[in-house]
C-alpha cells in the first residue's frame, strides 16, 4: 500500500496497513539535509530535496510545498529579509495606512517570484512521486494574509475600528488565495493546506464574521478543483472547534492544547482530525517511549479516520529516534487493531 492509497483509505474509514503520518517539517527538513533555511525558503530544489529525504528517512506519508507565511505577501510587495540560516523577517507592514489598500494589486501566482517557486516545487514532486505520495500545496487564510500585510496587532485593532475596511482587504486576499490554490492544483497538488494562525486569537463571534466565510470560500474552490482541503490553525482553538467544523476542510489539524477526543466527537465522521501531541515537550524533549505513548493516545482519541501528526511543526533539533518512534507506533497501532477486529 503506497502513501496515497493509505491516505485515501484512511479518509474513507477503511482498513490500512498503518495510519498516515502527516507531520509538518520545514526547519527540521532543511537542516536534515544540511541546507541553510534561506535555501529552503527561496529555492524549490532545496525544499524538494529536504522533503524527499524526510519522506524516506522517517516514513512520512506526504510531501509538502510549505516553508513560511510570506509567499503571497512578498509577491504583493512586502519587504521580507531572509537571513542565511534564520527565520524570515518582515521589515515593515505593506499597508501602513488604510489608504494604502487602494494601491494594492493582486500578484499573479505564475509570475510572482515566490509563488511561482512553490509551483515549481509541486511540479517537481509530481514528477517524482505523483500518484504514490500525497502532494500538499499551501495558501494563507484570508485573515492570516491580511495580518502579514498589515501587521497582526494593527489588524486586530482594525477588526473593531474599521470592520468594513477589513472586509474589503479580506475579499482581495481571498481572491488571491483561490487563484494561488488553483495554480497549485493545476501543478499537481492533491491537498491544499491553509494556514490561519491569527484565527486562534479571535472570539467565536469574530471567527464567524471575519474568518469562517473566507475559509469556506477558499475550501469550496479547492474541492471544486478536485483536491482535498487541510486547515491548520496554530495554537489553542478549543473555543473554535464547533466552528472550524463548518469550514469545509477535509482534514483539520489540532494543536496540542486542544482535546482531540472532544474535537473528534464534534466532527463526527467528517472532517478528519489530524494530530496532536506536543511537538516540543513530547517530540523535541521527550523520550521515544513518550513519543510512542502520545502517538497511540492521539490515534485512540481521534477515531478511525484520525491522521497522525504533532500538533504543529516538528521543531528543529528533534532527535531522529523520536521520529522513528512515531513511525513504529503507527505500525504497532494497526497491528493491535487487526488483532481486535
The answer on pLDDT for 216 being more than 80 is yes
Predicted pLDDT at 85: 97
Average pLDDT over residues 193-218: 98
The pLDDT of residue 338: 61
What residue segments make up the domains of the chain, in order of their start? 3-340
User: Nearest to residue 23, comparing CAs of 195, 317, 276, 248?
Assistant: 276
- What CATH number does the domain located at 3-340 have? 3.20.20.210
Query: Residues 95-121: what's their mean pLDDT?
Result: 98
Chain centre to alpha carbon of residue 166: 24
Say what the pLDDT of residue 334 is: 80
In the sheet with 251-253, reading across from the earlier edge strand, the strands are: 63-64, 135-140, 191-195, 228-232, 251-253, 272-274
| C-alpha closest to that of 220 among 208, 232, 228, 210 | 228
Task: Please name the residue ranges forming H helices in 189-315.
Answer: 204-210, 212-224, 241-244, 260-267, 288-302
Cβ contact 33:50 at 8 Å? yes
Mean pLDDT of 268-291: 97
Query: Does pLDDT of 281 surpass 80?
Result: yes
Cα–Cα nearest to 277, from 306, 263, 252, 297:
297
Is pLDDT above 70 for 337? no
Residue 57 and residue 334: Cα distance in Å, rounded?
20
Q: What is the pLDDT of residues 125-161, one digit of tens each?
A: 999 999 999 999 999 999 999 999 999 999 999 999 9
Q: Whose CA is closest to 32, among 278, 279, 321, 317?
A: 317
What are the pLDDT digits (tens) for 173-186? Answer: 999 999 999 999 99
pLDDT tens, residue by residue, 299-327: 999 999 999 999 999 999 999 999 999 99
Of residues 340 and 31, more confidently modeled: 31
pLDDT more than 70, % of the chain: 98
> Is residue 340 predicted with pLDDT exceeding 90?
no
Are 230 and 250 in contact, with CB atoms under 8 Å apart?
Answer: yes
The pLDDT of residue 10 = 97
**What is the rounded radius of gyration, in angstroms, for the C-alpha atoms of the chain?**
19
Amino acid at each position: 500500500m503506497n502513501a496515497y492509497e493509505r491516505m485515501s483509505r484512511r479518509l474513507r474509514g477503511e482498513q490500512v496497513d498503518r495510519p498516515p503520518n502527516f507531520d509538518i517539517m520545514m526547519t527540521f527538513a532543511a537542516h536534515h539535509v544540511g541546507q541553510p533555511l534561506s535555501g529552503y525558503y527561496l529555492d524549490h530544489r532545496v525544499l524538494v530535496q529536504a522533503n524527499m529525504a524526510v519522506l524516506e528517512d522517517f516514513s512520512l506519508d506526504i510531501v509538502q510545498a510549505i516553508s513560511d507565511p510570506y509567499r503571497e505577501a512578498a509577491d504583493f510587495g512586502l519587504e521580507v529579509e531572509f537571513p542565511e540560516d534564520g527565520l524570515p523577517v518582515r521589515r515593515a507592514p505593506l499597508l501602513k495606512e488604510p489608504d494604502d489598500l487602494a494601491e494594492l494589486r493582486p500578484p499573479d501566482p505564475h509570475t510572482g517570484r515566490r509563488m511561482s517557486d512553490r509551483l515549481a516545487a509541486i511540479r517537481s514532486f509530481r514528477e517524482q512521486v505523483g500518484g504514490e505520495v500525497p502532494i500538499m500545496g499551501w495558501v494563507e487564510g484570508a485573515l492570516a494574509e491580511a495580518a502579514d500585510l498589515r501587521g497582526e496587532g494593527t489588524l486586530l485593532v482594525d477588526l473593531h475600528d474599521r470592520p468594513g475596511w477589513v472586509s474589503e482587504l479580506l475579499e482581495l486576499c481571498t481572491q488571491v488565495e483561490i487563484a494561488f490554490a488553483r495554480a497549485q492544483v493545476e501543478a499537481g497538488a492533491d491537498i491544499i493546506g491553509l494556514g490561519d494562525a491569527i484565527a486562534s486569537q479571535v472570539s467565536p463571534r469574530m471567527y464567524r464574521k471575519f474568518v469562517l466565510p473566507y475559509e469556506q470560500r477558499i475550501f469550496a474552490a479547492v474541492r471544486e478543483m478536485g483536491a482535498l482541503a487541510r486547515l491548520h490553525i496554530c495554537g489553542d482553538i478549543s473555543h473554535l472547534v464547533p466552528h472550524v467544523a463548518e469550514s469545509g476542510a477535509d482534514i483539520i489539524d489540532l494543536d496540542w492544547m486542544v482535546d482531540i477526543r472532544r474535537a473528534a466527537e464534534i466532527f463526527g465522521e467528517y472532517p478528519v482530525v489530524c494530530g496532536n501531541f506536543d511537538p516540543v515537550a513530547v517530540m523535541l524533549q521527550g523520550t521515544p517511549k513518550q513519543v510512542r505513548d502520545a502517538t497511540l493516545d492521539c490515534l485512540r482519541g481521534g477515531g478511525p479516520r484520525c491522521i497522525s501528526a504533532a500538533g504543529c511543526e516538528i521543531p528543529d533539533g528533534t532527535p531522529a529516534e523520536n521520529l522513528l518512534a512515531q513511525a513504529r507506533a503507527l505500525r504497532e497501532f494497526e497491528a493491535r487493531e487487526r488483532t481486535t477486529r
